[in-house]
Amino acid sequence: MTECRQEVFPFAPHFSRRVEAAFSAGQVSSDGGALLLREVEGKINLLGRLAGCFWDGRMPLLVKHPLAQMLAQRIYGLALGYEDLNDHEQLRHDPLLALLSGKRELEEPLAGKSTLNRLELVNRTGRYHKIGYSAEAIDRLLGDLFIESRTAAPAQVVLDLDATDIPLYGHQPQRFFHGYYDSYCYLPLYIFAGDQLLCARLRAANQDAAAGSVEEVSRIVAQLRARWPEVKIVLRADSGFCREALMAWCEANPVDYLFGMAVNKRLRQIIGRQLHEAKMEHGASGKPARVFAEFSYRTRKSWSQARRVAAKAECLEKGENPRFVVTSLSAEEWAARDLYEKFYCARGEMENRIKEQMAPMGPVFCA
């Protein structure tokens, strides 16, 4: 009889050892899913390339825990939800984490919490300056991985920008209260191209959501165009990034943009007729009604020039729901309705990518 039930799943070997997933064993780990991460990492060599962004000035004969091994231990620990360094006092004896970290002898302990803490303090204090890193090389790495994932030059790259909160519980450096999130938090900046991360910059929460975005975008755009000179690049973000500095930079470097806009009285007055039409249509049908419009708009002080604005005049059961976006894209490329419904609203998928980034981390604690 043919055996249709597979009980053993082989993975890539670890030196001379076989690596297999099975459903019966003496010592069982609940973190077996990390073997799938190891398979993916083995194809792109992310951790090996990240280790290449560091330099190690320790005496080789005295090194017990190699740099690449410590990086892998910490990163896999974070991916598995062990964000606290104290967790590694037990995890250092976990044979599965030893395998993930690339340790040849799985019975030997990994680095402890104090050793990993010294690794995380590199470039912050002179006392632990035996190990350092190049921030520029780490920034380039994410862009290189994105470029290498494409076999041919894309016609267009859409860069989605957003900021989110990392709640804090303790007295971390640069700890500030953020009114929108109603908590003490950090405010990292994320930039995605589709489902691939190009930037994750940790920032304090006492600043504008768009702070530093010009510098990050200019770095990424330069890297992309060095490989694909003719690629069309579009920035897409919510109203938190509708800033003169970012729009002016795009116009000077030819990069297109599509940003949400905060609603104000003047904008509502401009689409007054469309709002009335939507209200009448909603009253007649009892269903949500949308009417779109577009116009040239310039603020009194903050904008250097007039720009194209597309508006959605919408009426729902709960009342009026106007929305506005500003763009450098022409009406020939994108009509107002498609610009909002098909292009701008597609940025909502980025929220799922941010949730994926935040899920293993959880809140940040500090003693």
Give the whole-number percent of the chain exceeding pLDDT 90.
Answer: 69
Rounded distance, CA 192 to CA 195, Å?
A: 6
Smallest CA-to-CA distance from 94 within 107, 76, 79, 112 is with 107
Give the whole-number percent of the chain exceeding pLDDT 70.
Answer: 92
Rounded distance, CA 198 to CA 215, Å?
A: 13
Q: Are 212 and 201 in contact (CB under 8 A)?
A: yes
With a cut of 70, say whether residue 24 has pLDDT above it.
Answer: no
pLDDT the model gives residue 329? 97
With a cut of 80, say whether residue 162 has pLDDT above it.
Answer: yes
With a cut of 80, say whether residue 122 has pLDDT above it.
Answer: no
With a cut of 70, say whether residue 84 has pLDDT above it.
Answer: yes
- Which residues touch 160 (CB under 8 Å, ≥6 apart)? 191, 192, 193, 236, 237, 347, 350
Rounded distance, CA 232 to CA 154, Å?
A: 8
Mean pLDDT of 196-204: 93
With a cut of 70, say whether residue 71 has pLDDT above it.
Answer: yes
Mean pLDDT of 114-123: 84
| Cα-Cα end-to-end distance for the chain | 60
Mean pLDDT of 111-132: 80
Mean pLDDT of 60-82: 92
Rounded distance, CA 359 to CA 293, Å?
A: 39
Q: Which residue has the tokens 């002898």?
A: 105
With a cut of 50, say whether residue 364 has pLDDT above it.
Answer: no
Q: Is the dihedral of CA 145, 150, 152, 158 positive or negative?
A: negative
> 305-335, pLDDT tens digit by residue?
999 999 999 999 999 999 999 999 999 999 9
> 213-257, pLDDT tens digit by residue?
999 999 999 999 999 999 999 999 999 999 999 999 999 999 999
> 128-159, pLDDT tens digit by residue?
578 888 999 999 999 999 999 999 999 999 99
With a cut of 50, say whether residue 366 has pLDDT above it.
Answer: no
Confidence of residue 276 (pLDDT cuts 50, 70, 90): very high
Q: Are 94 and 45 in contact (CB under 8 A)?
A: no
pLDDT the model gives residue 171? 84
Rounded distance, CA 275 to CA 297, Å?
A: 18
Chain-wide mean pLDDT for the chain? Answer: 90
pLDDT the model gives residue 3? 59
pLDDT the model gives residue 362? 46
Mean pLDDT of 267-287: 94
> 47-69, pLDDT tens digit by residue?
999 999 999 988 888 899 999 99
CATH number for region 137-358: 3.90.350
Rounded distance, CA 135 to CA 239, Å?
A: 29
For the ranges 7-11, 42-46, 284-288, 307-311, the lowest mean pLDDT is seen at 7-11
Q: Where are the domains of the chain?
A: 28-133, 137-358
**Bigger pLDDT: 21 vs 54:** 54
Mean pLDDT of 25-54: 85
pLDDT the model gives residue 124? 64
With a cut of 50, say whether residue 125 has pLDDT above it.
Answer: yes
pLDDT the model gives residue 351? 83
Mean pLDDT of 96-122: 90
With a cut of 60, say whether residue 367 has pLDDT above it.
Answer: no
